[in-house]
Structure 1
Amino acid sequence: MTTATDPHAPGAATSADDLVASVDSGARVPLGWQRMLVPSLAFTWALFQLYVASPLPFIIQEQTGLRVVFNNTEVRAIHLAFALLLVAMAFPLFSRSPRDKIPLYDWVLGIVGAGSCLYLVVFADEIARRSGLPTNTDLIVSTIGMVIVGISVYRALGLPLLIVVGVFLSYVFFGSSEFFPDSIRWAGASYSKAMWHFWMQTEGVFGVALGVSASMIFLFVLFGSILEKAGAGNYFIKLAFSLLGHLRGGPAKASVIASALSGIYSGSSIANVVTTGTFTIPLMKRTGFSPEKAGAIEVAASTNGQLTPPVMGAAAFLIAEFTGTPYTDLIVYALLPALVSYIALLYIVHLESLKLGLKGLPHKSRAGSAAAKIQSFIITLAGIMALGFAVHFGLGWTATAFPDAGLEIAIAVFVAFYIICLVIASKREDLHVDDPDAPIQELPVVRDVLLTGLHFLLPIIVLLYCVMVVRMSPGLAAFWASASMVLIAFTQHPIKALLRGGENFAASFAQGWDEFSRGMISGARNMIPIAVATGAAGIIVGTIALTGAHQVVSAFVEALAGGSLMLMLILVAVMSLILGMGLPTTANYIVVSSLMAPVIVSLGASEGLIIPLVAAHLFVFYFGILADDTPPVGLAAYAAAGISGGDPIKTGLQGFGYDIRTALLPFMFIFNTELLLMKVVIVDGTPTSEFVPWYIGVKAFVIAVIAMLVFAAATQRYFFSRNNWFETVALLLVALTLLRPSILLDMVQPPYDDRAGVEIYDIAGSQPAGSPLRMELVGTDFNNPLERTSKYIVISLDDAATGEDRIADAGLTFLEDGDRLTLDEPFPGTPFAYLGQDYDFYAEEPVVLNKVQTRAERMPKEIFYIPAFIILALVILMQRRRQTQPAF
């Protein structure tokens, strides 16, 4: 790879580690007296975040009366102050900027940027009293802060996000000029109003996104970083290899599992590539994979890790906040697609191994026969499950029996299990980081690897227990998980040294401190671009709130789609890929969701399709993440190519080829929310989501897995043997039928019965309470008075006695106009008040109720599974005749 002039261009990094540093943590490493400056600031930032998340400030204030509790606004400002100071110290501004010292201009930019943030803390009371009337000093500070945020965005995230932010700011200041067409022009805002909006209150830079970064994302990134530095990363890699290394193409399959496990706590697909890929990519190459395919498998696995709950690249908390979805519900919604995608990737790796004729790595004979290995694994797995049940039900019972001592008992149980795990681990040799270039003679025994690092699972259990069982806030749960991880980092080596007879006991304390401090510093440095990104994203969100810019984007996409919902989704997917290029996970999600998610919901509603907001956000999130391996700016692909020695463009193209299965899933769960384990119900005219019954979830999982395996076989053109073209077509039809059988059902039986609009009251009176009623409205387009436009709305009928009352309760008023019904303009605050933005209710031609649709009684859509499975069986029979090697 050659060095480029742009520090953010992928070619600028001479190695995968350099690329991670330049993107995630900063490529500058000062020498001399400045050597400890960045680590010290990063460590202090991590301590501050742990402090404000802990109960300690409240205890101190209650005991001493000192004001040591920071409110949310102050925490956001201090959080960004640390980020702006550190980004100036750690990220060189220009390609020629020194990397071994901090130049004077970076000192000035860092200190002034931090001061602009702290101005909001020091003068908080005076600013509150001014209430939207900024002084000259306020405007100067706001302007300086905005400029330094822009410079910091360029340093840490490159040009793409800076351009997006610049476009939005230009629209704020110049969008009211006559240069813009009437359809996208807005009323405009004064400079003082805009600066107050973006900097002096919590509607812009210091908005929701930065608040989530400060209160939740930092703690999860810190938790993952300490977990990684304490040895969990190496533990998960070796566990994956011991489990899967003996299978056909074992190193590649182990890479998928290791990346999935790293994705549990990782906030970056690029860091995930380097963490696991440094070990797995050379092994994949030695077992027969080309450099490009080895890198692409790691890229596909690592990008998939960003879609895996509970962290989802640190974006899970933002999705929950922006959609109003409880975090505990969100991780359930996102679980099934992530599992299905990983299972399909494992199968793709298996098919690639079959095509190459690969074998597995040798296993140690110590475990005995295959049956003995399976028995040992099952016993160990059962023990872990028993441990989980004991923790769950034991702590649940103690919390009920001793409500005042619940925390103390939980800590005692954790410590007890921790000691037990260390006693077990002390009887085995510690896991060492192997040389990835050294040949593997034999794989370790699963049981030995598993028992060596059981204590690394405890903080993850703490995290999930606090979130899912105790129902703590994600931030507080992350604090306790981080606290447990800090305890493990400090004490695991001294306790094991004592249990082994006291050998190297003194050195073990230094090792624990080293792992803890490196975890704290690494976590804080990894947070620099995330904090800057969420601050910059606040400008985008603030612009949308100030100007209504999302309506412009919606109108643009709607015009391009020409009324086709599927074409609209494809356009949104492509735009999400483009907007996501070169951005880390969190910034990626904020940008694409702010612009694209409202488009999906509004245009889906115009076609009468109720799309849950969380499904729309997950849709754009999936495609934004896929930008990490999409050429020409797929940073994860460049990182993998730096390790494999392959061509980064070919690696990205191959990785995207593997990720087509992931790109299919968002389209499927938009139309079939069972894949998200949710169903949509309408309550008081408002669509809400709730979980499907467990048996529906099991059915959705099984069918989705089969469909994705078949789809993988089609796209890889190999099943039991190489596919003929008609076999590939047949497999694609089978996969699409299993994933969305309603397409065929709609062709056979229309989903709705059409009735004339004048029958609305009779229909509404005859339907059972809670039934959805779909209506087509035709009226003059508000933005184009020369056109009549058609839109669908859906209402839920309550239990009122008459049809007239039910329609009125839904917030609609119809007036008789000869042989038709016209719609009166809905009142503000009612569920359909937004129609005033779509229709001109004061035009010469009124808004007319054209027709009413009720759900038709149809055969179950699952009936089409039968022909799909028959076609699948025929393809298998044809291929078995040509099969030359075992399928597994």
Structure 2
Amino acid sequence: MNEREQARRQSVAGDVPPTHSVKSDAVSADEILEKYDRESTYRKQLGKWVWVVSFLAISLTLFHLFTAYRGAYEARIQGPIHLGTGLGLIFLLYPIRKGLQRVQRTVPWYDAVLAFAALAVGYYNVIFYERLVTEAIVIGYARMDYVVASLGVLLVLEAARRSVGLPIVVVSVVALLYAMYGNWIPTKLFAHRGFEWSKLAADLYLTTKGIFSTPIQVSSTFIFLFLLFGVMLIRTGIGSFFNDLAFALTGRFTGGQGKAAVVASAMQGMVSGSSVANTVGSGSFTIPMMKKAGYRPEFAAAAEASASTGGQIMPPIMGAAAFIMATYTETPYSQIMLAAIIPAMLYFSGVFLGVHFESRKRGIVGLPKSALPNLRRLLIERGYLLLPILVIFYTLLSGRTPMRAALLGIAVSFLVSLFRRDTRMSFKSVLGAMEQGARVALPVIAACACAGIIVGVVVQTGLGGRIADGIITLGGGQLFFTLFFTMIACLILGMGLPTTANYVVTATMAAPALILGLDVPILAAHMFVFYFGIVADITPPVCLAAYAGAGLARANPFQSGVTAFKLAAAAYIVPFVFVTNPQLLLIDYSPAGLAFAVLTAIIGMVGISSAVIGFLIRPAHAWERLVLFPAGILLIIPNMAFSAIGLVTLLAVLLLQSKRPHQKVHAQGASRGA
């Protein structure tokens, strides 16, 4: 890196050059990840077991690459290999108690025993496949089958507790107790005959009704490969490219530092798929930069968390739950990807506008041209890094399976890494990427398996239909109230469950209420619960992404959460709109109607963002904010009369503010704002 480039990066980031400060920042980021992201609490030292972990992880990755090329095995073979190897790795990598990962020098004997037990239990279904799918159906299961099934359920719960967190285990245990003791429940609405443990465990573990149901089937085919693709893409250096590209596009405008953070986090979020991990990963660079520019620490944390969380709804590579949605709704993933484009655009428009109005309010201007990358040169020199994403996008749109698209994306990522000496992957680094790909997938494997327990109970007891009836009754048969109570359920579940498990649970229990009871299109209903499962990460009081950002910004966590909630206001409104007007999901749309809906929605984002920030073209009075917010909502609703009222109201406030004397604000930054 030449001196000019080094100076430019320091000017953009606002960092001090000494190496010790960079090191302390990295340690801080690791600590924050371990505090708010259970997935990051793995052992740092494995001793002699490092070879076992590497062998299992690389073998698991090779298995998925092989099946992606030749086609997946039958679900009762593919799933157990995927889950058994994953559980074995979890017990080797994740300690029995959070905090031990930093003090243990090797894998203790009891975790080694659990790891090999998990491998044995997982591969039991593969070894005895023929008997389990033929003889066992006719003459029943053997005693050993029941023992293995019971052990398998317990190991899944413990692995999920270690790698995902306690809440999902609590929900699963409650589901199991409900299945076993449903006959004790006095109310007819939720009562059922009850199941014996042995039969329940066998159905959950030895069939495809529970643990090996849709979530683990999708995890063992699509999700693992896309997580590996994300790892390969990061190895190409695309993270720094996204940062530079974001600054080249937005850095010179008003609040360029904040806007670049939003754009960069949106692009990186679609690769990482984790709200907390993306917040910490990109926030380590963007949050200090925003604070130096003049943003409040709470706002810097909130902007980063909001943008990072939205990465899971950004096509073409959305969160892992999107692949499960494709299977649940029997919709091609390419159609889901296209349906998510407009809602994602509206979400990030809201966050982007919020940053813009906050920047105007505080007088934060852009960066000088000399401190920014040259867009043309950047695209010429490193634009090829976008090739893997373009290949994924094109392959999915051409009708190929997600497995084939991910495999092609991985291959192109490897080829792209060869273009530069500093990213060129040797044989050793390829093996390292394979191991890392398996490690990244472990919490998703555990979450999907645990979610399978909940799904199995819901289906076998008929709980899903009962809850759907209850939601419709609670909503009085009215669409808005039913949507509102469904939203609350998704947000509450999202406080403790990862997005994938949250979606699986709500898609099983809440989505049917919208589809069967109120004739909502199936894709709109599932997208609704998918959205609210994601934004739970920035919804107080438990908003882990905002808390992680606050840790980096040294800000008040709760205030950061409230600010993130306000910045992402669109995420709480747009789902209601696309349920009532599926045109936004490209369902039964007309070009003119779609254009009108998108245009008025973007203008509506202006009203909502200016209301929550308190600035349009001048600082807004309290009554103006109270007027701007409903005006924005009226514009988002795709109705000609409502949109006209909202537009007139917004223009009236704009006219009144334009006649008000402009208050001088001390400008932050280094150049003129635009």
Q: Which whole-Å CA distance do the structure 1 matches of 2:52 and 2:247 have between them? A: 39
Q: Does 1:869 align with 2:652?
A: no
8 Å CA contact 1:226, 1:515 repeated in 2:
no
Q: Does 1:30 align with 2:35?
A: no
The 1:883–1:105 alpha-carbon spacing in structure 2 relative to 1, beyond 3 Å, is: farther
User: Greater shift after overlay, 863-872 or 537-546?
Assistant: 863-872
Q: Does 1:102 align with 2:115?
A: no
Partner in structure 2 of residue 414 of structure 1: none
Q: Which whole-Å CA distance do the structure 2 matches of 1:349 and 1:671 have between them? A: 29
Which of residues 17, 20, 45 in structure 1 aligns to 2:30?
17
Q: Which whole-Å CA distance do the structure 2 matches of 1:646 and 1:518 have between them? A: 36
The 1:631–1:866 alpha-carbon spacing in structure 2 relative to 1, beyond 3 Å, is: closer
Q: TM-score, normalised by structure 1?
A: 0.69
Alignment size in residue pairs: 635
Alignment of 1:562-641 (within 5 A): 562-603=476-517, 605=518, 610-641=519-550
Partner in structure 2 of residue 727 of structure 1: 624
Q: Which whole-Å CA distance do the structure 2 matches of 1:887 and 1:107 have between them? A: 59
Aligned Cα RMSD in Å?
2.2
Q: Does 1:162 align with 2:132?
A: no
User: Greater shift after overlay, 33-42 or 100-109?
Assistant: 33-42
Shift of 1:289: 1.0
Q: Does 1:542 align with 2:456?
A: yes
Partner in structure 2 of residue 672 of structure 1: 581
Q: Which whole-Å CA distance do the structure 2 matches of 1:17 and 1:629 have between them? A: 20
User: Higher strand fraction: Structure 1 or Structure 2?
Assistant: 1
Which of residues 121, 137, 142 in structure 1 aligns to 2:149?
142
Partner in structure 1 of residue 405 of structure 2: 477
- AA paired with 1:121? V
Deviations 1:516-564 (A, max 9, x none): 3443222211110101111111111111211110123224334443444
Deviations 1:415-443 (A, max 9, x none): xxxxxxxxxxxxxxxxxxxxxxxxxxx12
Q: Does 1:655 align with 2:564?
A: yes
8 Å CA contact 2:231, 2:436 repeated in 1:
yes
Partner in structure 1 of residue 434 of structure 2: 520
Partner in structure 1 of residue 362 of structure 2: 356
Shift of 1:123: 0.6
8 Å CA contact 1:250, 1:361 repeated in 2:
yes
Shift of 1:36: 4.1
Shift of 1:306: 0.9
Q: Which whole-Å CA distance do the structure 1 matches of 2:543 and 2:350 have between them? A: 22
Q: Which whole-Å CA distance do the structure 2 matches of 1:722 and 1:37 have between them? A: 61
Q: Which whole-Å CA distance do the structure 2 matches of 1:14 and 1:182 have between them? A: 54
Partner in structure 1 of residue 286 of structure 2: 280
User: Higher helix fraction: Structure 1 or Structure 2?
Assistant: 2
2:195 counterpart SS class? coil
- AA paired with 1:308? M
The 1:883–1:601 alpha-carbon spacing in structure 2 relative to 1, beyond 3 Å, is: farther
Shift of 1:674: 1.8
Which of residues 448, 451, 462 in structure 1 aligns to 2:391?
462
2:134 counterpart SS class? helix
1:578 counterpart SS class? helix
Partner in structure 2 of residue 453 of structure 1: 382
8 Å CA contact 1:246, 1:362 repeated in 2:
yes
2:313 counterpart SS class? coil
Which of residues 339, 352, 374 in structure 2 aligns to 1:333?
339
Q: Which whole-Å CA distance do the structure 2 matches of 1:164 and 1:570 have between them? A: 22
The 1:882–1:37 alpha-carbon spacing in structure 2 relative to 1, beyond 3 Å, is: farther
Deviations 1:273-309 (A, max 9, x none): 1221111111001000122111110000011111112
Partner in structure 1 of residue 600 of structure 2: 703
Partner in structure 2 of residue 80 of structure 1: 83
The 1:229–1:739 alpha-carbon spacing in structure 2 relative to 1, beyond 3 Å, is: same
- AA paired with 2:437? G
Q: Which whole-Å CA distance do the structure 1 matches of 2:54 and 2:241 have between them? A: 26
Q: Does 1:122 align with 2:127?
A: yes
The 1:883–1:518 alpha-carbon spacing in structure 2 relative to 1, beyond 3 Å, is: farther
Deviations 1:176-207 (A, max 9, x none): 23x43222111333334322210111111011
Deviations 1:772-830 (A, max 9, x none): xxxxxxxxxxxxxxxxxxxxxxxxxxxxxxxxxxxxxxxxxxxxxxxxxxxxxxxxxxx
Shift of 1:259: 1.2
8 Å CA contact 1:197, 1:204 repeated in 2:
yes
1:265 counterpart SS class? helix
Alignment of 1:335-484 (within 5 A): 335-364=341-370, 442-469=371-398, 471-484=399-412
Shift of 1:345: 1.1
Q: Which whole-Å CA distance do the structure 2 matches of 1:866 and 1:71 have between them? A: 56
8 Å CA contact 1:227, 1:519 repeated in 2:
no
8 Å CA contact 1:273, 1:302 repeated in 2:
yes
Shift of 1:566: 2.3
- AA paired with 1:248? T
1:492 counterpart SS class? coil
The 1:464–1:349 alpha-carbon spacing in structure 2 relative to 1, beyond 3 Å, is: same
Q: Which whole-Å CA distance do the structure 2 matches of 1:869 and 1:93 have between them? A: 57
8 Å CA contact 1:720, 1:883 repeated in 2:
no
Partner in structure 1 of residue 256 of structure 2: 250
The 1:110–1:18 alpha-carbon spacing in structure 2 relative to 1, beyond 3 Å, is: farther
Q: Which has the larger radius of gyration?
A: 1
Shift of 1:866: 3.0
Q: TM-score, normalised by structure 2?
A: 0.90
Q: Does 1:222 align with 2:136?
A: no
Unaligned 5+ runs, structure 2:
1-25, 665-671
Alignment of 1:639-788 (within 5 A): 639-679=548-588, 692-740=589-637
Alignment of 1:497-516 (within 5 A): 512-513=426-427, 515-516=429-430
Shift of 1:515: 4.7
Partner in structure 2 of residue 234 of structure 1: 240
- AA paired with 1:882? R
Partner in structure 1 of residue 304 of structure 2: 298
Identify which of structures 1 and 2 has the higher relative contact order when contacts are C-alpha pairs closer than 8 Å and 6+ apart.
Answer: 2
Q: Which whole-Å CA distance do the structure 1 matches of 2:627 and 2:558 have between them? A: 31
Deviations 1:739-771 (A, max 9, x none): 225xxxxxxxxxxxxxxxxxxxxxxxxxxxxxx
